[in-house]
Each structure stands twice: as C-alpha cells, then as structure tokens.
C-alpha cells in the first residue's frame, strides 16, 4: 500500500532477530483509514491483528524522527485509543482490535497489560468496597469497569494500563487507617450514659466502626469508652469525657431513677437484696422503715459492696414509679446497669382456648303396672311398680283415694294433702306416653297403666374464652353466674330460731392462666380451664342443685402460635334395665304384663384446645385487636338491618371513645434482592 511504501520502508524488523535500535524515515499520515493503518503496522512488526467489524475511523499522525518496532506499536496504541479502540491478546501472539466499551468482556484482557488494557483485583483493608467503587467510577475510561466484591472487600478494575496504575496509587493513598484509638475508664458515671451524651454532642451515631470520622463505643463490662478518630478530635473528646466523669463525682450520692416499664414495688426487693438491705418482708411489722438498714448484713447476703463505712440504701417513691438510690458513684453505676437491663418492655401473651363437647343420649322404656285391692279388705292387696318408671301407679291410686275421702271434709288433713301432692308430682314427671284403665266390681277395685318412652337428646357445646396478659403475670376471666349453694341449716328448738347458711359459687366459663415466654423458644403455661353449668335439682323433693363441671388444670409448653390439645374425654355408656315379677315376668307372651324394660345409651366427646400467641410490640397488639374487632363487627352487620351502612360497634367507638376503629397494620413486604448485571457483547472477529 501507499502508506506502507512511503512510511515503513526503513522499518523492516524480523521476528526472529532482535529489533533494530532505530529506523530512519518520517511518518506522515493524513485522513488514512484506520483498518489500513493497522494492516501496515502488522506487516512492519510481524504482529497479527484481528479487526472487529465495528472498527471504523481515520488516522492523522505526523512524526519526523525514526521509530523502532516498540515505538511504532506505541503509536498504534495511541491511535486506537484516540478512536475508542483497544487491542486485546487473542493467544499465539495475535491481538484482537475491538471497541473499548467491550474490552473488559474480552477473554484475553485479564491478568496483565494487554497492549495497554488490563484487568486486576485490588484488595482493600480499611475502605468499604462498595463505597470505593462508587468513588472510582468517574475516574475510569469509557471502556473501564469497576465492580465491588463485598465478600472479600476487593475491587475488580478493568482499564488502560496507565490509568490502572493511577487508580492503584489513589487507592493506596485512600486505603490507609490513620485514625487514633483511645480508651477512657470512668469512675463516677455510666459508660452508656456518657457515650450517648458525647455522641449526640459531636453528631455521631456511635458503633459504626470505621464508616465515620469519629466512633464512640461504650464497654459496659469495664465501664469504659473506646474512642476512634482523628488524633486532634480524639483529644477533644477524651477531655470532654474526663470532665463529665469528674463532675459526676461531685454531684452527690443520691439519685432518683424513674422507671419506664418495670414496677418499682416489684423491683425494689431485688435491688435491696443485691446491696444487703433488708426488705419489707424481713422487717418486723412494728419496726419503722428508717431502721431497714440496721442489722441487714446478717439477714441478707450483700452482693454489691459499696464504699467502706457507708451502706447503700434504696427506697421507693410510689407516686411516680421511681426509685431513690443513696450510694457512692460506683455502686450507683452498678445498680443503674442492673435497672437498665430489667426496665424493659415486657412481652404479652394472648391465650385462646376452645372447649368442644358433643353428646348424644338415647333412652327407651316400656312397662305395665297393675293394682288389685278390696274396699273392705277381704280381697288381698296386689300391685306392681318399678323404680325406673316415670309415673307410678301407687301415687295415682293414693291420690284418687285421697280425693274421695276428702269430698265431704272441708278441712282435710295433712295425710290426704301429701297423697294428692305425690299423685300430682308423678303426673308432672311424665315422659313419653301413658295409658291406663281403672274400675271396680263389687268389693274389688282394679287398675292398670302402660307407659312407653323413647327420647333422643343431642348437644353441641362450644366455648372460646380468650385473655391477654403480661409475661409471668397471672390472669383470670369468668363469664357466668353466681349460684347460691346451701352449706348449712339449723331449725332450732321448736323452730324458734331457724337459719340457713348459703355460699355463692361461680358457674360458667372460667380461664386462669400464667404464661412464661422462654428465651430459647416456646411458652410455658400454667393453665386452669373450667366449664360448669346447672343440671337441675337433685330430685323433686330436694331442691339442692346439681352442677355439671369440666375442669383441666395443667402446666404445658407450647410454641408461639401453635394449637395443642390439653386433654379430653371420650365416653360411651350402654345400659339396659329389666324390672319384673319373678316367674310371671318370664312367661311367654303374657310375661310382658309383669315386667318393665328400659334401655339407655350415652355418648360424650369432650376436647380442650389452647393457642398462645406472643404480643411483642404495639403492632402485634393492634393486629390481634383488629382481628377480633372485625369478627364482632361482621357478626353485627349480619344481624342488623341491611339498610344500616355502619355497625353499631363502629358508631360506639367513634361517638363515645372519640377514636377510629382498630385496623390491622400491613405486613412487612420483603424487599427484592438487588442485582447488578454487566452487559457483555462478544464481537465477531475478522482474521
């Protein structure tokens, strides 16, 4: 070509010999095609170049001095870079010429300089890789790439070799820790309190390591503060910490601590035992409170020792739920650390119970009773009556006789009244069907009744008590009645001073629970569940009540939100009773007139389930409240007039409480993982 003939004739290096020290001639190219220029350099240096089809551009080079082979290659690199191109090794001494925006994706660009372009991994010691990558992105070339590797805190950098050396120099200057670390031990104040005060004073969050110019970390185990930052700034901070600690020494030995969550009455005995002070339970009832400290060393073990000659004293002020501590600064600091760990928001537990009882009773009865007697007593008396019969023939006969005997007697007597009452009670207790005949023949009086009963009774009892309580606090809920039960009765002499003692007993649904939230997982529950009801009087002649009672008292461990069965009963009873007259009741066919047959079948299924849920914060409490509120509101909307758009419960909350109905807070939505994809394009090569 013309460019090769004019410019490169003096430069004829051999690949098998050492390159000549210099080549004569000048280089003058104006508006030449870059592809032709690459071909001329390839012929002059014996180097193979694979040109990407996207390579386009013109060359303008002027040089009057002679050039060696390496200098000619340097000119080529400068020309390629000026046109947004780069040469990347392709193996076997060949190079690929591609646009520089795809140079980082070429397979031959890793490891070292590739005719001016290289990819390297730069480890970092103190600077975060993500922050360093954002800082260096504006400094790389158009085809350069800077990627952070957080796992190893390193940078992956691909750029021209000269720019890569500049970036490494900048990283070496930035990636160096010139911070000073100092430790200040406190004597009169709390490290946590002083660290928070100084952090707010200097505008730092504290505890974020080397991410800020100043870091302040409290060490509670040694009551010290570790400060890290610039040397001059560290001196100012340490002077401030020492001054605050010195002023705390002269502030006095009495301190008032206002509790945020804990109960001062419950916390006071614990702290008193730590300092060896006698508690209210150890002190005699007639001893004044001022003598609480005297002689306490023998009664309690002192775990926190104060200054010699001065015993710490802790009292409670119930008006503001506060504690007053009179002790030396070191003892105050120790007690404050204990109080801060105990004075935290306590968890709550919502306990929900389900009591299910399904029962089915079936009964059948068939019997015949007869009576034969004489008016004047000459005919023998004969009768049949069975204990299982609801209606007896004897009370009915006595009632009829009493009615006839009383027909002409206006005053009557007590015996006849009792007979009539027995007949009436027998008829009132009738269940099923009753048929009978009665008559007289001469002096004989006869009667017969046939009673038949078939009954099926089914019940489905469902109770769902629930209660919310603090962790380790006992709670109780009762929904029922107080029923009077007779416990004693005295008539006295001649009924002169009669009296009766009555005790009221709770009947209904009761739930007593004391939860304990375990740090290792699960909830330990002490639970007592009772469901009771009134079954009725003992008998028609005795008014005392019979109470049905189902009760479970246990201690279990349940996972948070899990449903477990506490216990139950599966009971089935089959009973058949035959009452008959011996001999006569066994006669075929007519034996049925002399016997009474009853069958009874009882089935009962009883189960108790429990579900505890830990309420850790206000959001959990609002969510649990909103669920129950919505349930009751929906039941109201189903029962009330459809024309009413608002439930009565909502109107009551808005009008009386002046508040909005509880609404379930939205559940947190997990954020999608972020990913940074680097687009890569593999160019087609032209040999």
pLDDT in tens, 158-196: 777 778 888 888 888 888 777 788 899 988 778 888 898
Strand-pairing partners, residue 317, are: 322
DSSP 572-640: EEEEEEEEE-TTGGGSTTGGGGGEEEEEEEEEEEEEEEEEEEEE-SHHHHHHHHHHHHHHHHHHHHHHS
What is the CA angle 217-219-224, rounded to 5? 95
Do 69 and 49 touch, CB atoms closer than 8 A?
A: no
Residue keyed to tokens 């005919």: 379
| pLDDT higher at 380 or 474 | 474
What's the average model confidence in pLDDT over 270-292?
65
By residue count, the chain amounts to 687
pLDDT digits (tens, 9 = 90+) for 131-163: 888 888 888 777 677 888 888 888 888 777 778
Residue-wise over 344-382: b if at least 16 C-beta within 10 A, else e? eeebbbbbbbbbebeeeeebbbbbbbbbebeeeeeeeee
Do 133 and 102 touch, CB atoms closer than 8 A?
A: no
Strand-pairing partners, residue 58, are: 33
What's the average model confidence in pLDDT over 366-390?
68
pLDDT at 110: 44
Edge-to-edge, what's the strand order for the sheet holding 117-123? 117-123, 154-160, 145-149
pLDDT at 24: 36
pLDDT at 62: 72
pLDDT at 475: 94
What's the average model confidence in pLDDT over 362-381?
70
Region of poorest pLDDT, from 171-180, 430-439, 654-663: 430-439
Alpha-carbon span 228 to 216, nearest angstrom: 7
For the beta carbon of residue 242, count every other beta carbon within 10 angstroms.
15
Residue keyed to tokens 């070339």: 141
Alpha-carbon span 599 to 575, nearest angstrom: 6
pLDDT digits (tens, 9 = 90+) for 381-416: 667 777 666 677 667 666 666 566 665 555 556 656
Region of poorest pLDDT, from 10-14, 26-30, 398-402, 659-663: 10-14
pLDDT digits (tens, 9 = 90+) for 239-271: 999 988 888 766 567 888 999 999 999 999 999
Region of poorest pLDDT, from 68-77, 397-406, 489-498, 644-653: 397-406
What is the rounded radius of gyration, in angstroms, for the C-alpha atoms of the chain?
Answer: 51
Alpha-carbon span 141 to 166, nearest angstrom: 12
Confidence bin at 417 (pLDDT 50/70/90): low
Alpha-carbon span 126 to 122, nearest angstrom: 13
Q: CA-CA-CA-CA torsion for 237, 238, 239, 241, nearest 10 degrees?
A: 90
> What are the distances in angstroms from CA 9 to CA 32, 44, 49?
18, 9, 20
Show Cβ contacts of residue 490 under 8 Å, excluding neighbours closer than 6 positions.
Answer: 497, 498, 499, 500
What is the sign of the dihedral through the CA atoms of 209, 211, 212 and 213?
A: positive
What is the CA angle 492-494-496, rounded to 5? 60
| pLDDT higher at 204 or 635 | 635
Show Cβ contacts of residue 216 under 8 Å, excluding neighbours closer than 6 positions.
Answer: 195, 198, 199, 202, 204, 206, 207, 225, 226, 227, 237
Nearest to 349 by CA among 464, 465, 474, 259: 474
Indicate the average pLDDT of the chain.
76
What is the sign of the dihedral through the CA atoms of 403, 405, 410 and 415?
A: negative
Give the 3-state secondary structure of 473-488: CCEEEEEEEEEEEEEE
Nearest to 148 by CA among 130, 123, 171, 135: 130
Phi-psi region of 472 (alpha: psi -120 to 50; beta: other; left: phi over 0): left
Confidence bin at 525 (pLDDT 50/70/90): very high
> What are the distances in angstroms from CA 85 to CA 30, 31, 99, 234, 664?
19, 17, 4, 51, 60
Region of poorest pLDDT, from 58-67, 214-223, 530-539: 58-67
pLDDT digits (tens, 9 = 90+) for 302-326: 566 655 556 788 999 988 899 999 8
Task: Give the helix/strand (H/E) hosting 76.
Answer: helix 69-82
């Amino acid at each position: 070509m013309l460019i090769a003939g004019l410019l490169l004739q003096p430069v004829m290096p051999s690949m098998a010999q050492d390159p000549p020290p210099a080549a004569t001639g000048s280089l003058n190219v104006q508006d030449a095609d870059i592809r032709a220029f690459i071909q001329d350099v390839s012929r002059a240096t014996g180097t193979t170049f694979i040109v990407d089809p996207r390579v386009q551009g013109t060359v303008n080079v002027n040089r009057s001095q002679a050039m060696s082979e390496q200098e000619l290659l340097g000119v080529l690199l400068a020309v390629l870079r000026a046109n947004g191109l780069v040469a990347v090794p392709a193996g076997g001494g060949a190079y690929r010429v591609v646009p520089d925006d795809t140079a980082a994706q070429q397979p031959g660009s890793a490891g070292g300089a590739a005719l001016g372009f290289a990819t390297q991994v730069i480890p970092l010691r103190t600077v975060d890789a993500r922050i360093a990558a954002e800082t260096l992105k504006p400094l790389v070339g158009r085809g350069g790439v800077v990627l952070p590797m957080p796992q190893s805190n390193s940078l992956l950098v691909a750029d021209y070799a000269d720019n890569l050396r500049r970036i490494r120099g900048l990283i070496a200057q930035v990636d160096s820790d010139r911070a000073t670390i100092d430790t200040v031990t406190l004597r009169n104040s709390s490290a946590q309190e002083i660290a928070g005060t100084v952090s707010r004073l200097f505008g730092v969050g504290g505890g974020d390591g080397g991410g800020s110019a100043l870091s302040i970390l409290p060490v509670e185990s040694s009551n010290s503060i570790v400060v890290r930052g610039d040397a001059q700034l560290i001196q100012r901070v340490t002077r401030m910490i020492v001054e605050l600690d010195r002023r705390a020494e002269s502030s006095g030995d009495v301190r008032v601590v206002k509790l945020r969550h804990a109960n001062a009455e419950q916390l006071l005995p614990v702290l008193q035992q730590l300092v060896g002070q006698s508690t209210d339970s150890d002190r005699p009832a007639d001893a004044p409170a001022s003598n609480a400290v005297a002689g306490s060393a023998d009664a309690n073990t002192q775990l926190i020792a104060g200054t010699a000659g001065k015993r710490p004293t802790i009292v409670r002020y119930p008006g503001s739920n506060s504690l007053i501590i009179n002790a030396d600064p070191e003892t105050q600091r120790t007690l404050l650390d204990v109080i801060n760990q105990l004075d935290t928001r306590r968890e709550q537990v919502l306990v929900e119970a389900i009591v299910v009882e399904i029962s089915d009773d079936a009964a059948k009865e068939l019997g015949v009773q007869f009576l034969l007697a004489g008016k004047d007593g000459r005919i023998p008396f004969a009768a049949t009556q069975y204990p299982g019969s609801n209606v007896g023939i004897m009370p009915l006969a006595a009632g009829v006789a009493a009615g006839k005997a009383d027909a002409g007697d206006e005053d009557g007597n007590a015996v006849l009244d009792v007979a009539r009452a027995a007949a009436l009670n027998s008829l009132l207790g009738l269940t099923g069907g009753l048929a009978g005949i009665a008559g007289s023949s001469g002096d004989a009086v006869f009667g017969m009744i046939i009673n038949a009963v078939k009954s099926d009774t089914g019940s489905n009892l469902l109770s769902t008590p629930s209660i919310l309580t603090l962790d380790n606090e006992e709670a109780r809920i009762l929904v029922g009645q107080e029923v009077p039960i007779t416990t004693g009765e005295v008539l006295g002499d001649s009924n002169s001073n009669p009296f009766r003692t009555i005790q009221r007993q709770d009947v209904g649904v009761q739930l007593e629970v004391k939860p304990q939230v375990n740090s290792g997982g699960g909830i330990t529950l002490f639970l007592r569940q009772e469901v009771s009801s009134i079954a009725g009087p003992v008998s028609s002649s005795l008014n005392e009540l019979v109470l049905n009672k189902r009760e479970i008292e246990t201690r279990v461990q349940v996972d948070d939100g899990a449903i477990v069965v506490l216990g139950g009963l599966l009971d089935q009873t089959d009973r058949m009773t035959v009452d008959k007259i011996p001999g006569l009741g066994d006669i075929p066919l007519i034996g049925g007139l002399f016997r009474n047959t009853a069958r009874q079948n009882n089935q009962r299924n009883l189960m108790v389930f429990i579900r505890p849920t830990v309420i850790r914060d206000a959001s959990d409490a609002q969510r649990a409240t909103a669920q129950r509120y919505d349930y009751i509101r929906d039941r109201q909307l189903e029962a009330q007039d459809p024309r009413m758009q608002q439930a009565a419960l909502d109107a009551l909350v808005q009008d009386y409480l002046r508040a909005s109905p509880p609404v379930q807070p939205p559940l947190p939505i997990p954020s999608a993982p972020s990913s940074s994809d680097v687009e890569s394009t593999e160019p087609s090569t032209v040999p």
